[in-house]
Amino acid sequence: MSRLVMKFGGTSVADLERIRRVARLVAAEVAAGHKVAVVVSAMSGKTNELVAWTDDAGPSAPGLPAHDDEYDVVVASGEQVTAGLLAIALRKIGVDARSWLGWQIPIISDHAHGRARIDDIPGEALAASVDGGQVAVIAGFQGVTPEGRITTLGRGGSDTSAVAVAAALKAIRCDIYTDVDGVYTTDPRIEDKARRIKKISYEEMLEMASLGAKVLQTRSVELAMAQRVPVRVLSSFVEPGEADPDTGTLVCDEEEIVEKRIVSGVAYSRDEAKITLLGLPDHPGVSSRIFSALADANVNVDMIVQSRSKDSSVANMDFTVGKRDAAKALEIMNAAKAEIGFEEAKVDEDVSKVSVIGVGMKSHVGVARTMFTALAGKGVNIQAISTSEIKISVLIPSAYTELAVRALHAAYGLDQ
Ligand code: ADP
Ligand code: ASP
Ligand code: MG
């Protein structure tokens, strides 16, 4: 008896017609002998609408708590609707099914409302129900604190719900159905020469996701890697039995991959903002003060570049933060201006990060040269660079994002 987890994202459950098709895909796996748990997202657009309502309704009056906890109560509701509808659609075609909300399983999380982490899934009741032959239709994205308050797992969090449930159920695999038929060498929406990757290592997928390829939420890949859950990404826009048996992308251990490339993919993120501090005193302890102030306020810093002109005794520093932290970071810097001692702080939100990823970089030279030569050839100016063993990222003006992605895709021989 093998348990299987299937996850369907927002576009896959966008209306009743699509929910019926999802029901047919689930029914086919049940007929093939699997014990199935399905994780669903809200219908596409629903979560954005709910988020906008909470923004409109808030903020809290001074002296009262911020409304992050109630944000989760509202925003988690989209998934409840699809879980119920899919259970109904399954029963209609003769498949026994029931919905499970996050708190009913329960999917226990920490207290970080809006971006909670799963701590534990006591999955006995769920496993017993699934093994008894009733398909479990689980509302993704939802958690619950030990005190019983609703949480959500961050945007795109249903992927993480699915992998966590797969780990808790010791499922043979977690199938992530979405609106593309796999993980591509870059976002197929901006490069039509992108190719499907048949197998990708956890390590590379983790970098791709955290550098902007939103096909899988970063935490879902972290969790899959830690728990060794095989993940397959595939299209929900096919009827059962119609898909090519070789379809999709398998996210798995590096050892399982025969065909190895130096660069496997190109990712981009527009969710960046650059903060520049001008006229910094150039002596020990300054950087420590800057980054301690940001860390104390929970602001995550990504790239950092310090520069000093030849004859100057002062330095300049650029660093990047997520767009939604930009205003906060600027405020923190200005509040600490006297203590740090810089002359001026400014923010630039018109920047993007473009990255190339590949485990082959560990053992090949010249990867950076190819990147910089390709970008120079298109006249793209690089504002900051960061590297790890398996990726190189550059910060560029956001107007050049597509151009840079396409140039790099071609330069590394990834075009079809
Ligand atoms: P879902 O609603 O199913 O969770 P998402 O919109 O979150 O789907 O993720 C799928 C989208 O991810 C695709 O439509 C595609 O535009 C985007 N994407 C970005 N980078 C990649 C990539 N390298 N491979 C595949 N899809 C990608
Ligand atoms: N519905 C949530 C979102 O839009 C979770 C998800 O789709 O994974 O972020
Ligand atoms: Mg998603």
With 80 as the cut, is the pLDDT of residue 89 above it? yes
- Omega before 230 within 30 of 0, i.e. cis: no
- Token output for 377: 């050839």
Say how far apart CA 232 and CA 175 lie, in whole Å. 5
Question: In which band, very low, low, confident or very high, does the pLDDT at 26 lie, cut at 50, 70 and 90?
Answer: very high
Residue with CA nearest ligand 1 atom 27: 187
Average pLDDT over residues 309-327: 89
Question: In which band, very low, low, confident or very high, does the pLDDT at 307 lie, cut at 50, 70 and 90?
Answer: confident
Nearby residues of 285 by Cβ (< 8 Å), 6 or more positions away: none
Mutate which of 178, 183, 185 for ligand 1? The one with the most ligand atoms within 8 Å of its CB, which is 178
Model confidence pLDDT, tens digit, residues 384-403: 999 999 999 999 999 999 99
Quick one: pLDDT at residue 114? Answer: 95
Average pLDDT over residues 291-316: 88
Nearest-atom number in ligand 1 for the CA of 158 is 4
Question: In which band, very low, low, confident or very high, does the pLDDT at 244 lie, cut at 50, 70 and 90?
Answer: confident
Residue with CA nearest ligand 1 atom 17: 215
**CATH code that applies to domain 3-255:** 3.40.1160.10
Nearest ligand, CA 208: 1
Average pLDDT over residues 327-341: 93
Mutate which of 155, 178, 214 for ligand 2? The one with the most ligand atoms within 8 Å of its CB, which is 155
The pocket around ligand 2, CB under 6 angstroms, is made up of 9-10, 41-42, 47, 78, 140-141, 155-159
Nearby residues of 386 by Cβ (< 8 Å), 6 or more positions away: 302, 303, 392, 393
What is the whole-number distance in angstroms between the Cα of residue 188 and the centre of ligand 1?
8
Write out the residue limits of the CATH 3.30.2130.10 domain(s) in the chain.
Answer: 266-411
**CA–CA distances in Å: residue 275 to residues 14, 38, 155, 300, 332:** 39, 43, 25, 13, 11
Quick one: pLDDT at residue 309? Answer: 74
Mutate which of 41, 214, 237, 391 for ligand 1? The one with the most ligand atoms within 8 Å of its CB, which is 214
Write out the residue limits of the CATH 3.40.1160.10 domain(s) in the chain.
Answer: 3-255
With 90 as the cut, is the pLDDT of residue 298 above it? no
What is the whole-number distance in angstroms between the Cα of residue 214 and the centre of ligand 3?
6
Quick one: pLDDT at residue 243? Answer: 80
With 80 as the cut, is the pLDDT of residue 260 above it? no
What is the whole-number distance in angstroms between the Cα of residue 242 and the centre of ligand 1?
22
Nearest ligand, CA 157: 2
What is the whole-number distance in angstroms between the Cα of residue 181 and the centre of ligand 1?
10
Cβ contact 356:412 at 8 Å? yes
User: What mean pLDDT is reported for the chain?
Assistant: 95
Quick one: pLDDT at residue 386? Answer: 93
Quick one: pLDDT at residue 360? Answer: 86
Question: In which band, very low, low, confident or very high, does the pLDDT at 18 lie, cut at 50, 70 and 90?
Answer: very high
Nearest ligand, CA 43: 2
Average pLDDT over residues 103-112: 97
Question: In which band, very low, low, confident or very high, does the pLDDT at 308 lie, cut at 50, 70 and 90?
Answer: confident
Q: Is the whole-model pTM more than 0.85?
A: yes
What is the whole-number distance in angstroms between the Cα of residue 320 and the centre of ligand 3?
24
With 80 as the cut, is the pLDDT of residue 258 above it? no
Model confidence pLDDT, tens digit, residues 163-207: 999 999 999 999 999 999 999 999 999 999 999 999 999 999 999
**CATH code that applies to domain 266-411:** 3.30.2130.10
Average pLDDT over residues 239-265: 87
Share of the chain above pLDDT 70, in %: 100
Quick one: pLDDT at residue 254? Answer: 86
- Token output for 155: 């945007």
